[in-house]
Amino acid sequence: MAEMKDVVLEYIIDEYVDEDDDLEVGVDSPLISSGIVDSFSMVSLKIFLEKKYDIKLPDDEATPDAFDTVTKIVELVKKHQG
Amino acid sequence: MAFTDKTRQLFAEEIAAIKEKGLFKEKRFICSPQGAAIRVEYPEGAAQEDVLNFCANNYLGLSSHPDVIAAAHEGLDSRGYGMSSVRFICGTQDIHRELQDKVSAFLGMEDTLLFPSCMDANGGVFEAILEPEDVIIADRLIHASLVDGIRLCAAEYDTFKHMNMKHLEKKLELHQDKRTRLIVTDGVFSMDGDLCPLDEMCALAEKYDAMVLVDESHASGFIGKTGRGTHEHFDVIDKVDLITTTFGKGLGGASGGCVSGKRELIELCRQKARPYLFSNSMAPPIVAASIKVIDLISASTERRDKLEANTKRFREGMEAAGLNIRPGETPIVPVMLYNAKLANDMSRDMYAEGIYVIGFFFPVVPAGQARIRVQLSAAHEDEHIDKCVAAFKKVGEKYGILGLDKKGIIDKYGM
């Protein structure tokens, strides 16, 4: 089974990066602070994570800082998976 | 005194941080009526300069039109200055009803409700009509006021890539379990000048049982062959469920906005929209002038035709001069520079050439997408447009960007 970080990274590239954007995105690339994902469209990522991993991410934890890299996102999801 | 030196220092540091990031907005004063040629004091305290204005939302050149001014005077004389009330208590005059009816007829909608601004209309419409079991699916580059309104609403929301209909379809499929789906977009996007493909969007809305809301603030009065808007341009007037728009741009430029659309949705806004319930009515002189504007543009397409011709002249001139403009057909023309400092420096040099334009950069536009946004007006004459193009050519030459594409400019200046 694919590792969570690979699944999340693949989703982010598919969801937020256009083919002509010419961007290299890795697990530790800043997403929000770099402008790849803005605070408005971040909700799509939250919906994906909640559906994919059957969890509920509270708004006060699904913050721009907590979503800023794939590594941080994986930490947050794992915490809520118990 | 609670505002101690320590407290003052706290806020001063925040302002300093904004300046540090290069995001501080300077004061600029217009010392004349709004128009193609204006008198400006900039920076504050400097001598006033006569410049040509290429950054106003005065698309139809009606901001200082004599008939509009006369109608505002007449409204002031016959209906007074202010209403001192929200609409539903004692703030609705016969002319508010008349304007609502005229806007409904102009836009081809069932009913209309006036708000103090389109920002208020966008802030109130979602919460009034949607519940937690509904979903809003929004283009990622919609106006900030729509974003705020969506965030104030209890419905779930999701986003799709800018004008990407395949991605929208994916999201519509994903949310088929919701009670209702509302697609939200701008008709014309204010920073890019893009026209949303409403024909494709409305076809998807039918296929996936969704409603469509379009913010037409940068379209009402001039997009479409009779200026009804983006829904006229794409021949989907009867397929759009809700339009929000402003009287603060092409339609006279003062203030005020509205939600127009299906009767039941407008009634819910009348009953529940908080900016409608808790903010003052549009002032009578502005209502009277807005009625005149709708009458003027309903009777003749002369002004939107001139705007179209001006847009074509400017776009062709800029391309011939070698500037990198974002292709399109709307009077919003982004001159792409990608680098924030370059956009700032060039706009300052344009001002020295007598052309008032502004540079935009992150976070107003995405990172690496800095540009100078030019806005055409029906008030511009050919010589104004030619002077603006000539100034861009001169300034562009100074910075060595003429004939360069995106890669060429980024290689030279970085992002």
Q: Is B410 on the interface with A (CB under 8 A)?
A: no
Neighbours of B177 (CB within 10 A): 7
Query: B140 and B212 in one domain?
Result: yes
B80, B207: one domain: yes
| Predicted pLDDT at B253 | 97
Note whether B343 and B313 are same-domain residues.
yes
* Residue B10 counted as domain residue: no
Q: Does the annotation mark B249 as catalytic?
A: yes
Name the closest residue on chain A to residue B139, using Cα atoms.
A41
Please report, for the domain that includes residue B308, its CATH number.
3.90.1150.10
Look at domain A4-13+28-81 and name its CATH class: mainly alpha
Q: Which residues of A touch B340 (CB under 8 A)?
A: none
Residue B8, domain member (yes or no)? no
B126 inside domain: yes
Structure confidence at residue A1 (pLDDT): 57
Domain boundary, last residue among B299, B315, B342: B299
Do B346 and B318 fall within a single domain?
yes
Predicted confidence at residue B368, as pLDDT, reads: 86
pLDDT at B80: 98
Question: Chain A partners of B171 at a C-beta cutoff of 8 Å?
Answer: 44
The C-alpha of A80 sits at a distance from chain B's nearest C-alpha, in angstroms, of 21
Residues B361 and B401 in one domain: yes
Same domain for B400 and B258, yes or no, is no
B75 and B47 in a single domain? The answer is: no
Tell me, what amino acid is at B397?
A: E
Q: Which of B277, B299, B321 is the last residue of a domain?
A: B299
Range of the domain at B245: 66-299
Identify whether B63 is a catalytic site residue: no
Q: What are phi and psi of B338, to 5 degrees?
A: 70, -35
State whether B270 and B315 are in the same domain.
no
User: Number of C-alpha atoms within 13 angstroms, CB side, residue B409?
Assistant: 27
Q: Where exactly are the structural domains of chain A?
A: 4-13+28-81
B5 found inside a domain? no
CA B317 from centre of chain: 24
Q: Is B4 inside any structural domain?
A: no
Based on the fold, state whether residues B118 and B142 are members of the same structural domain: yes
Sequence-separated (6 or more) residues with CB below 8 Å from residue A38: A32, B140, B366
pLDDT digit of tens for each residue in chain A (82 aa)? 579 999 999 999 999 988 777 778 899 999 988 888 988 999 999 999 999 999 999 989 999 999 999 999 999 999 998 7
Domain contains B209? yes
Judge if the upstream peptide bond of residue B132 is cis by omega within 30 degrees of 0: no
Query: B361 to chain A: which residues are within 8 Å by CB?
Result: none
Mean pLDDT of B327-353: 96
**Range B189-193 average pLDDT:** 96
- Whether residue B332 is found in the same domain as residue B260: no
ipTM score assigned to the predicted complex: 0.90
Predicted confidence (pLDDT) per residue in B70-103, tens digit: 999 999 999 999 999 999 999 999 999 999 999 9
Minimal-distance CA residue of chain A relative to B150: A40
Instruction: Look at the block and give the residue holding tokens 């540009």.
Output: B371
Say if residue B262's pLDDT is above 70.
Answer: yes
Same-domain status, B323 and B370: yes
pLDDT digits (tens, 9 = 90+) for B389-407: 999 999 999 999 999 999 9
Task: Choose one of B284, B299, B314: the last residue of a domain.
Answer: B299
Catalytic: B412? no
pLDDT at B366 over 90: no
List B190, B217, B260, B290, catalytic entry:
B190
Query: Are B181 and B319 found together in one domain?
Result: no
Are the C-beta atoms of residues B341 and B361 closer than 8 Å to each other? no
